[in-house]
Amino acid sequence: MHAAPEHAARAHPGPWQAAWRRLRRNRLAMAALAFLILLVAVCVAGPLFSPYGPNDQDLKLKATAPSAAHWLGTDSLGRDLATRALHGGRVSLLVGIVATLVASVIGVGYGLVAGLAGRRLDAFMMRLVDILYAFPFITFVIILVVVFGRELWLIFAAIGAVEWLTMARVVRGQVLALRNLEFVTAARASGAGGAHILVRHMLPNVLGPVIIYASLTVPGVMLLEATLSFLGLGIQPPDASWGVLIREGADSMETYPWMLAGPGLFFSATLLALNLLGDALRDALDPKSGG
Amino acid sequence: MLRFFASRLIQGGIVILAVLCITFVLLKRAPGSPLESERNIPEHIRAQKMAQLGLDQPEIVQLWRHIRGFATFQFPVSEKNGGRTVDEIILQGFPVSALVGCAALVIALGLGIPMGALAAVRPNTLEDRACMMAATAGICTPSLVLGPLMALIFGLKLRWFNASGWYDADDWVLPALTLGIIYSASIARLTRAGLRETLAQEFIRTARAKGASETAVVFRHAFKLACLPVLNFLGPAAAGLLSGSIVTEVVFQLPGLGRHFVGSAVNRDYELAMACAAFYAVLIVGFNLLVDAIQALLNPRIGLHKA
């Protein structure tokens, strides 16, 4: 992370290079990473090359099975499912990334403050987190979405606002552990201010756990979005997200099973890749944890 | 011990109160009112109705009325549900959700713990890999994918069960299997991690050194401690399962509690929405308390006096 001289980095790989090296050796994780990069590329670029629009209806093609012209088939309005799945993927992946960022920023900020604050404030803040853990969150997200409308940015905010708790706990624990280590004491003894210690010593050392936990948050966030959309509370048709498509597929699966199969496969494969990558990141960044 | 539970009870009470307050404030911020669907009613009748429902009073008074009602078991009437009281509505849905939830819990534990234990005692073998791969696959097949699949395969194609609805005595099987399989995946992973960590500890080496058989080591010595992360997971999971998984109940069209969580918020049914939130909060607080107690029994190192 720090700008180390080139030769020093070669002689002693820093923790980040070592982690990357461990990650690269994990073939399953690299396959998952490749899949995710490919998926993002296809979702972003794919619709540009598709001959169909996501909402182009062709009523002559009502619910046709997968074919050379329509790789995942068409739905009951004759819309091309492959195009819709890619458009849905854009939304689902965007929610996954943005909501995780929201949750991470809140969680890291809260955790840092609690960890660096005095004992009283820390106890209060953590008790608050304990209390929030007992909240019926799915209900809250539902109420939030129902109350404030079903716009995309609100879904980001609502999901991010409920997913930060564990992040706050992780960061606070890490800060407490770091606070009394020798290098921090040394920095303080040599006159470093609070802000300097926070930015130069705490943040880089907190980053590892944050990355681990954030990578495990992404699939959870995407699942929450899909659940909301599945219940009709998230993305609204005719806009597509994987949750919307799975719902449409489930509604007509008896006669047109491919309508469920395509989006379901996309979604499950993405969750699988994200989970595999998250597990591998944990092993790579925190080798002590064992598997 | 007593002090611990007293402090936890107080904390639980605070949680329930906070849940009620936040739910109420959010619902009140929502545009629309319970009378929204009845259009074109004259202004004086609307005002009369609002007064009848107590909606003309200040919000703090309304909130206090809700809280006092729950605390004294004087449950309000849900206007949107044919004038039944909210406890009637909840107690009608609860048996369905609870039956499915209990069956799902049994399935989840019955599948997850043996899988996790097998993987932990034979690390890095084929069995371990197979169990963990299955668990990862389970985590990646959420109920909104697995539920419709189960309904399609066992309901619509094989016709072993009804694909949806609540008519026959065995209609709990498919939803319970769906939820059970999903939860078993997490339980298997937690069991494996917990057991692996415990088996590496010194008291296990002592047990082995004194000549205890491997079965005894795993089941008598290690298992109690290895259960702790699973237990931690089970508290909230059980509360969630018993109050009805919303997605599963939608997929299988079960007349359980889950649908009220969504329906009441969408319909601006303040009374029912508050009751649902309160019911769920009570369940979660209760289960967390239970988990704390069981943990203290299993692990002598957790002192209950350290609240």
Q: Would you call B145 and A264 a contact, using CB atoms and an 8 Å cutoff?
A: yes
- Quick one: pLDDT at residue A37? 92
- Quick one: pLDDT at residue A107? 92
- Quick one: pLDDT at residue B243? 67
Are B255 and B295 in contact, with CB atoms under 8 Å apart? Answer: no
Q: Residue B218 and residue B192: Cα distance in Å, rounded?
A: 12
Q: Would you call B144 and A246 a contact, using CB atoms and an 8 Å cutoff?
A: yes
Under-50 pLDDT residues of chain B: 305-307
Residue of B nearest to A289 (CA): B197
Q: Would you call B265 and A135 a contact, using CB atoms and an 8 Å cutoff?
A: no
Are B157 and B114 in contact, with CB atoms under 8 Å apart? Answer: no
Q: What is the CATH number of domain A30-40+80-286?
A: 1.10.3720.10
Those residues with Cβ within 8 angstroms of residue B169's Cβ, 6 or more apart along the chain or in another chain: none
B135 closest CA partner among B159, B148, B117 = B117
Domain span at B123: 1-307
In order along its 291 residues, chain A shows pLDDT tens digits of 454 445 544 556 677 788 888 888 888 888 889 999 999 888 888 777 777 777 777 767 676 777 767 777 777 777 888 888 888 888 889 988 998 999 999 999 999 888 888 788 888 888 888 777 767 666 677 777 777 766 777 777 878 888 888 889 888 888 888 887 888 888 888 888 778 887 888 888 888 888 888 888 898 888 888 888 888 888 887 788 888 888 888 888 877 887 888 888 889 999 999 988 888 888 887 755 544
Q: Residue A129 and residue A137: Cα distance in Å, rounded?
A: 13
Are B287 and A140 in contact, with CB atoms under 8 Å apart? Answer: no
- Quick one: pLDDT at residue B105? 92
CATH of the domain at B99: 1.10.3720.10
Q: Would you call B26 and A276 a contact, using CB atoms and an 8 Å cutoff?
A: no
A226 at the B interface (CB within 8 A)? yes
Q: Residue A181 and residue A203: Cα distance in Å, rounded?
A: 14
Q: Residue A244 and residue A227: Cα distance in Å, rounded?
A: 9
Question: With contacts defined as CB-CB under 8 Å, which chain A residues touch B277?
Answer: 136, 139
Residue of B nearest to A139 (CA): B261
φ, ψ at B85 (rounded to 5°): -75, 155
**Whether this model's pTM surpasses 0.90:** no
Tally of domains within chain B? 1
Are A199 and A223 in contact, with CB atoms under 8 Å apart? Answer: no
> How would you class B58 by CB atoms within 10 Å of its CB: exposed for 0-12, middle for 13-18, buried for 19 or more?
exposed
Reported ipTM: the value is 0.78
- Quick one: pLDDT at residue A181? 82
**Four-residue CA torsion sign, A161, A246, A92, A168:** positive
Are A275 and B136 in contact, with CB atoms under 8 Å apart? Answer: yes
A114 at the B interface (CB within 8 A)? no
Q: Residue A263 and residue A261: Cα distance in Å, rounded?
A: 6
- Quick one: pLDDT at residue A110? 92
Those residues with Cβ within 8 angstroms of residue B272's Cβ, 6 or more apart along the chain or in another chain: B78, B80, B81, B86, B89, B260, B263, B264
A218 at the B interface (CB within 8 A)? no
Q: Residue A46 and residue A40: Cα distance in Å, rounded?
A: 9
Q: Per residue in A125-144, is it b (16+ CB within 10 Å) or e — as a string?
A: bbeebebbbbbbbbbbbbbb
